[in-house]
Structure 1
Amino acid sequence: MKNLSWFNKTMFFFNIVLAVLTFVAYVLPFLAPKIFPFLSVLTLFLPMMLILNVIYFIYWGIQFKRQVLLSALVLLLGITFINKFYKFSEKNLPEEVSDFTVLSYNVRLFNKFEWSDKETVPVEISDFVKENNPDILCIQEFSNAKEFDYARYQHKYILSKGDKIKTGQAILSKFKIINEGEVVFPNSNNNVIFADIKKGKDTIRVYSIHLQSIKITPDVNEISDDINGIDQQKSQRMFKRMSTAFKEQQLQAEIIMEHKKDCKYPIIICGDMNNSAFSYVYRVIRGDMQDSFEEAGSGFGKTYDFKYYPARIDYIFADKRMQVKNFKNFIEIVDSDHFPIMARLSMVEDKKL
């Protein structure tokens, strides 16, 4: 330290602070949010912290300073987290007759409340689904839209609630649905629906989930202003709201896990988790399942239209009795505040060995 300039000493001080916060964020996925609900907010910013650690690593490295070891250690310990944030190459295995595709999309009520100036949103979403032709379609924030073409799906499970405005979720399938149901969350408008789908000799259970929103603005500038003290009271309210949402999500995740533990079928869980891949909720819901993005995706895997930040909060988890052969996130589709995601899967026994 004594050989460092005053500027480098200041830089290293902030480097240490960043390293400590990053280590804390590494541990948080293994701690229930109800224990440290406020600290759980850090998991949302872990990708940003990883990027800053890379910058520090380069900064010290080009100066041949031993301080580079701190950032090197942080990055080495977090190598598994980096894979959740960014994938350098995708997997696209040859398509076979036995493959099937699952598409998950939070459609934001098909623009029922006109958040977008486009009047053709339901038609454009319908055209997008028609073009990609998924075998199983899971829709969150579903609302009846006469412009959406349901005809291609003979088998449907649609659950809508509400008096004047009915909203909910839908699972649409080209394969027969032999059982269906809802997983209810206490004191929440969010929920999970599931369908047992018969595909050939296999039966697959598909869950479509929509967890409690953490209610943050899509504009990262507003959050930055709050944190910088322009509106300290608003910032405190925001973090309190997020902390409460994390605790609610923990309960919801545990309810999902309790529901699926006795299921004898291979399982697919997809939908809007409203949390990052670095969270306790993600770890609990995923369990030993495969994250389709990690298995076959590329890039940041962005699924939510959060300004300047590649937020990934929508997922398709596949049972280990399946193979993930391809994964896409469609960031060019701007008909909702979420981007649709699709995975191509096959049952393990269908693979050519």
Structure 2
Amino acid sequence: MKKLSVLDKIIFVCNSLAATGLLLSYLLAFIPPKSFPLLSVLSLGVPVLILINILFLAYWLIKFKRQFLLSLIVLLIGYNYVFSLFQFSETINTSEEELSIMSYNVRMYNQYDWTDEEHIPEKIVSFIQENDPDVLLTQEHTVDVTNLKEIYPYHFVHRKNKNSEFGMAIFSKYPMLNKGSLDFPHDGNNNAIFADLKIKNDTLRIFNVHFQSLNVKPEIKDLKDEDSKKLVGRIGQGFSMQQEQAETLKKKVDSTTYKTIISGDFNNTAFSYIYEYLKGSEYTDAFLQAGAGFGKSFQLSYFPLRIDFMLIDKSLQINSYSSFNKELSDHYPIMTRIKI
């Protein structure tokens, strides 16, 4: 520190704060939000803290200063978090028989005209047909606005109650032996549904989930206009509701004897409690296994946000993972292929 200029000393103090913040944030994925709702809000800043520490690391390396060790050590401690943010190379396996699964939050097929682009339902269906997934999971699905039931012989479309604006859907080329809904107890449309698919001589249970929204307007101008205390409080409450929903889902998952896939819109990041809680040691994040880049799944102009996931039973081989830059909703569709 003595040999540093005044400017570099100030920079190192900022570096120390960012490194400490990142180190503490590693723990947030293991702290139930209901215990410390406001603290859990900090998990949303993990991607930014990672990038800031990478910039500090690069700065000190360029200047040939040993202060680079601070951010390097903190990043190495949380290397799993770093790779949750970005994958450097795509892994593609092939097998003669594959099952392709697509998850897509379709934003009610533009029912409320969030975009001026015309014929959104037809374009979404055209995109789905073009990629031809064997199983399609949709969130914010409005009933009967598409012909997907004509494309897929087996389907389960469900709304929690008659007043729900939208629901969830599972479409399949394979027979459904059983299907059901968890009907989360909270008010609103968020929910999880499942279907048991007969695939050759095996049965696979697929959960389609849509956890509680944090109700954050993503544009910077909207965030500036928002009252900060109300915003943080609302996000903390949303995290607590997500925890309760994830616990409801986990009970159902743990009672399942079939190989299982959990997929859908988590409305949270890979640094969150609910992600770590559901993934545990039994599931593989398909993006981490076979994806590339940031795996962006939500339209956010200033940051590549991944909030849609496919957690695959570790007994299943993941052949590929894709995130499609298709701006027909506020979410991008994701798809994985597994060996059957």
The reply to whether TM is greater than 0.5 is yes
Write the mapping of 1:99-178 to structure 2, written as runs, cut at 5 A: 99-163=98-162, 166-178=165-177
Q: Which residue is equivalent to 1:267? A: 260
Write the mapping of 1:87-102 to structure 2, written as runs, cut at 5 A: 87-96=87-96, 98-102=97-101
Structure 1: how far apart are the matches of 2:222 and 2:11?
Answer: 26
Contact preservation (8 Å) 1:125, 1:148: no
Q: 1:302 aligns with which of 285, 296, 300?
A: 296
Alpha-carbon offset, residue 216 of structure 1:
1.1
Q: Which residue is equivalent to 2:240? A: 247
Alpha-carbon offset, residue 222 of structure 1:
3.7
Structure 1: how far apart are the matches of 2:239 and 2:165?
Answer: 26
Contact preservation (8 Å) 2:143, 2:167: no
Structure 2: how far apart are the matches of 1:297 and 1:221?
Answer: 32
Is 2:324 aligned against 1:325?
no
Q: Deviations over 1:61-86 (max 9, x none)?
A: 22222211111111111211111110
Alpha-carbon offset, residue 166 of structure 1:
4.5
Q: Which residue is equivalent to 2:7? A: 7
Structure 2: how far apart are the matches of 1:36 and 1:3?
Answer: 41
Is 2:28 aligned against 1:35?
no
Q: Structure 1 residues 239, 176: CA separation in 2 closer, same or farther (over 3 Å shift)?
A: same
Contact preservation (8 Å) 1:269, 1:316: yes
Structure 1: how far apart are the matches of 2:72 and 2:284?
Answer: 28
Alpha-carbon offset, residue 46 of structure 1:
1.0
Amino acid at match of 1:342: M
Contact preservation (8 Å) 1:122, 1:148: no
3-state DSSP class of the match of 2:26?
helix
Amino acid at match of 1:133: D
Contact preservation (8 Å) 2:160, 2:191: no
Contact preservation (8 Å) 2:160, 2:183: no
Alpha-carbon offset, residue 151 of structure 1:
1.4
Q: Which residue is equivalent to 1:55? A: 55
Alpha-carbon offset, residue 340 of structure 1:
0.3
Alpha-carbon offset, residue 124 of structure 1:
0.3
Contact preservation (8 Å) 1:327, 1:343: yes
Does 36-45 or 108-117 show the bigger shift?
A: 36-45
Does 236-245 or 41-50 show the bigger shift?
A: 41-50
Structure 1: how far apart are the matches of 2:146 and 2:187?
Answer: 29
Alpha-carbon offset, residue 150 of structure 1:
2.6
Structure 2: how far apart are the matches of 1:253 and 1:146?
Answer: 29
Q: Which residue is equivalent to 1:314? A: 308
Alpha-carbon offset, residue 160 of structure 1:
2.2
The two structures have a TM-score, normalised by structure 2, of 0.96
Q: Structure 1 residues 265, 33: CA separation in 2 closer, same or farther (over 3 Å shift)?
A: same
Does 188-197 or 134-143 show the bigger shift?
A: 188-197
Alpha-carbon offset, residue 164 of structure 1:
6.4
3-state DSSP class of the match of 2:248?
helix
Contact preservation (8 Å) 1:253, 1:281: yes
Q: 1:343 aligns with which of 329, 336, 339?
A: 336
Structure 2: how far apart are the matches of 1:164 and 1:344?
Answer: 35
Alpha-carbon offset, residue 165 of structure 1:
6.4
Amino acid at match of 1:219: E
The two structures have a TM-score, normalised by structure 1, of 0.92
State the number of aligned residues. Answer: 338
Q: Deviations over 1:24-75 (max 9, x none)?
A: 1111111111222212122212111111111111111222222111111111
Structure 2: how far apart are the matches of 1:63 and 1:258?
Answer: 53
Amino acid at match of 2:284: Q
Give 5+ residue unaligned stretches, structure 2. Answer: none
Amino acid at match of 1:312: R
Alpha-carbon offset, residue 184 of structure 1:
2.1
Give 5+ residue unaligned stretches, structure 1. Answer: 348-353
CA RMSD after TM alignment: 1.4
Q: 2:270 aligns with which of 277, 301, 310?
A: 277
Amino acid at match of 2:321: F
Q: Which residue is equivalent to 1:219? A: 219
Contact preservation (8 Å) 2:54, 2:71: yes
Contact preservation (8 Å) 2:323, 2:333: yes
Structure 2: how far apart are the matches of 1:311 and 1:268?
Answer: 22
Identity %: 38
